[in-house]
């Protein structure tokens, strides 16, 4: 489906078209490895890479349009080098991409919901989109595209007939979410949690609050959903002078969407989390194939968002029930007749690490399994990083086996008996017996840069149907 012509696109973003005036499709990529026939490639300069070095690969893979910096187009004579390929030469490619997305969003004009928070934003995004699909044509963020560039790519991939757009907004510095909502203003904002994360950029949890609540600067905002069990968020919304609808979610008796009984189970059919909630004088049970008590909050946020956008409570619950976990975000896999792996390898901060440990402990107790953990360090925690890691070590005191990866743990001093620290991923691999998981539940979690995904994937999958791995 066509967005607009290359000439029109160049005009929108203040660039210059060099080459044929092709029709622009909805397939935009910043990674040349993802380029395909007929796509548009955006050459961006980052802190450690330069997309202009990969234009050849993108063109060889089929890109017919390249958005590049004007200076590089001229310096490298790119239009002459790649005859037949269309170039939009712009002053700055990230800004140009954003302008294109901004205009396309204006034309499609869907209702827009945006989700942010220290933990749970991707899962809440998936749950919200699943619920809304019971009634609307929904377009949701691609993968964890939660930056200005990621949101731009998500919007440019949006079908023209979209009713509701669900964005995810991440941040590691002040002003980042402000910029996103200035360009892509949501009508509905969801803040899942404010907790220690990216403290190198924010300095304190209060700084995290300030950064996350930038989402409320949207000029189109008419409703916000927030965690009222978080004192900082509760206080913020109690005193914020915003003329919008506010929906509180939590276990607190005063919550508009109150979470009651929560049950988490691992069984023959995998993981299941159920939460009883009370809202608007009605009680309803939310259920999904997610693993963990924290997902009672994520399901409740999605429920509140869906109802706010016009779904009935039962429509919202039906959509939520169709959700499955994303890779590295709590996927539970049976590895032996009595063995389970909990794959949380995508990322970690103190709040999500705490939740994962609680869930593994509870499941091990219910199933009579030994508690094991393979954990990597948590990045960007600033000057208090060692203290946060020490707290995690204290939480692991009752675990039977703990393997740690990363220098962050070394700063904690001498480790308790039963805990081992590894200097590298290869060293960790050499010490793990992936075929000895029977009778154990094994939690794998850490900051994504440590690559624990490889460890999680190394464990075999047990097939109960034939008793084989």
Q: Digits of tens for pLDDT over the chain (469 positions)?
A: 567 899 999 999 999 999 999 998 889 999 999 999 999 999 999 888 899 999 999 999 999 999 999 999 999 999 899 989 999 999 999 999 999 999 999 999 999 999 999 999 999 999 999 999 999 999 998 778 999 999 999 999 999 999 999 999 999 999 999 999 999 999 999 999 998 887 777 889 999 999 999 999 999 999 999 999 999 999 999 998 889 999 999 999 999 999 999 999 998 888 999 999 999 999 999 999 999 999 999 999 999 999 999 999 999 999 999 999 988 999 999 999 999 999 999 989 999 999 999 999 999 999 999 999 999 999 988 888 999 999 999 999 999 999 999 999 998 988 998 899 999 999 999 999 999 999 999 999 999 999 999 999 999 998 766 555 4
Domain finish residue from 273, 300, 320: 320
Residue 413 domain-assigned (yes or no): yes
Q: Which domain, by its residues, includes 40?
A: 6-97
pLDDT given for residue 3 in this prediction: 78
Q: Are 311 and 134 in contact (CB under 8 A)?
A: yes
CATH number at 24 reads 3.40.1390.10
CATH number at 236 reads 3.40.1190.10
Give φ, ψ of 336 to 5 degrees.
-165, 170
- The answer on 336 and 315 residing in a single domain is no
pLDDT given for residue 467 in this prediction: 53
Of the candidates 143, 142, 119, the one whose C-alpha atom is nearest the C-alpha of residue 198 is 119
Residue 306 domain-assigned (yes or no): yes
Distance of CA 136 to CAs 161, 198, 223, 315, Å?
Answer: 10, 35, 19, 11
- The answer on 270 and 123 residing in a single domain is yes
pLDDT given for residue 465 in this prediction: 61
Q: Which two tokens stand for residue 238?
A: 């109690």
SS3 274: strand
- The answer on 384 and 271 residing in a single domain is no
Residue 355 domain-assigned (yes or no): yes
- The answer on 125 and 85 residing in a single domain is no
Let me know how long the chain is.
469
- The answer on 316 and 335 residing in a single domain is no
Residue 68 domain-assigned (yes or no): yes
Residue 170 domain-assigned (yes or no): yes
Q: Where are the alpha helices (DSSP H) in 157-229?
A: 176-183, 199-202, 205-212
Residue 465 domain-assigned (yes or no): no
Q: Are 55 and 62 in contact (CB under 8 A)?
A: no
Residue 466 domain-assigned (yes or no): no
CATH number at 348 reads 3.90.190.20
Taken in order 429, 432, 436, 442, is the CA torsion positive or negative?
negative
Give the full edge-to-edge strand order of the sheet including 111-116. Answer: 138-140, 164-168, 111-116, 188-191, 223-227, 245-250, 257-267, 270-279, 282-288
Q: Which two tokens stand for residue 290?
A: 């997610």
Sequence-ordered list of residues with C-beta below 8 angstroms from that of 315, at least 6 positions apart, any chain: 131, 134, 135, 306
Domain finish residue from 97, 122, 141: 97
pLDDT given for residue 44 in this prediction: 95
Residue 264 domain-assigned (yes or no): yes
Q: How many domains does the chain have?
A: 3
Distance, in Å, from the CA atom of 378 to the CA atom of 241, rounded to the nearest integer, reads 36
- The answer on 143 and 45 residing in a single domain is no
Domain finish residue from 97, 126, 159: 97
Q: Where are the alpha helices (DSSP H) in 53-194?
A: 55-60, 70-75, 78-81, 93-108, 121-132, 148-156, 176-183
Torsion of CA 305, 310, 312, 313, to 10 degrees: 10
- The answer on 302 and 268 residing in a single domain is yes
Distance, in Å, from the CA atom of 170 to the CA atom of 167, rounded to the nearest integer, reads 10
């Amino acid at each position: 489906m066509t967005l607009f012509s290359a000439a029109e696109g160049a005009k929108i973003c203040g660039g210059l078209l060099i080459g044929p005036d092709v029709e622009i499709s909805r397939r935009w990529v910043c990674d040349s490895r993802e380029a395909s026939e007929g796509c548009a490639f955006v050459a961006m300069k980052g802190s450690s890479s330069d997309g202009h070095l990969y234009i050849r690969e993108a063109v060889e893979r089929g890109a017919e349009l390249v958005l590049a910096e004007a200076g590089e187009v001229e310096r490298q004579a790119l239009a002459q080098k790649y005859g037949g390929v269309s170039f939009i030469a712009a002053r700055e490619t990230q800004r140009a991409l954003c302008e294109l997305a901004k205009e396309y969003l204006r034309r499609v004009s869907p209702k827009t919901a945006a989700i942010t928070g220290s933990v749970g934003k991707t899962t809440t995004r998936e749950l919200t989109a699943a619920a809304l699909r019971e009634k609307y044509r929904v377009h949701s963020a691609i993968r964890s595209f939660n930056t200005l560039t990621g949101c731009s790519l998500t919007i440019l991939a949006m079908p023209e007939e979209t009713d509701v757009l669900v964005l995810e907004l991440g941040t590691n510095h002040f002003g980042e979410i402000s910029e996103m909502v200035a360009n892509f203003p949501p009508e509905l904002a969801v803040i899942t949690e404010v907790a220690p994360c990216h403290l190198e950029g924010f300095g304190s949890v209060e700084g995290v609050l300030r950064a996350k609540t930038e989402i409320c600067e949207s000029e189109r905002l008419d409703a916000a959903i927030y965690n009222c069990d978080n004192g900082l968020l509760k206080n913020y919304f109690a005193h914020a002078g915003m003329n919008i609808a506010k929906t509180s979610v939590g276990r607190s008796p005063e919550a508009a969407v109150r979470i009651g009984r929560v049950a988490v189970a691992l069984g023959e059919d995998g993981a299941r989390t159920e939460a009883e909630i009370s809202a608007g004088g009605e009680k309803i049970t939310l259920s999904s194939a997610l693993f963990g008590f924290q997902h009672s909050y994520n399901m409740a946020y999605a429920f509140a968002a869906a109802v706010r956008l016009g779904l009935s409570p039962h429509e919202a619950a039906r959509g939520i029930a169709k959700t499955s976990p994303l890779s590295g975000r709590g996927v539970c896999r049976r590895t032996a007749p009595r063995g389970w792996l909990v794959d949380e390898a995508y990322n970690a901060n103190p709040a999500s690490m705490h939740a994962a440990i609680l869930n593994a402990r509870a499941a091990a107790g219910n199933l009579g399994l030994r508690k094991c953990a393979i954990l990597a360090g948590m990045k960007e925690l600033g000057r208090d990083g060692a203290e946060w890691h020490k707290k995690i070590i204290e939480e692991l005191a009752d675990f039977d086996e703990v393997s740690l990866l990363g220098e962050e743990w070394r700063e904690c001093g001498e480790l308790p008996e039963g805990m081992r620290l590894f200097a590298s991923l290869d060293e960790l691999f050499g010490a793990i017996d992936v075929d000895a998981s029977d009778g154990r539940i094994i939690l794998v979690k850490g900051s994504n840069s440590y690559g624990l995904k490889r460890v999680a994937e190394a464990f075999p999958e047990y097939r109960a149907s034939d008793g084989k791995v």
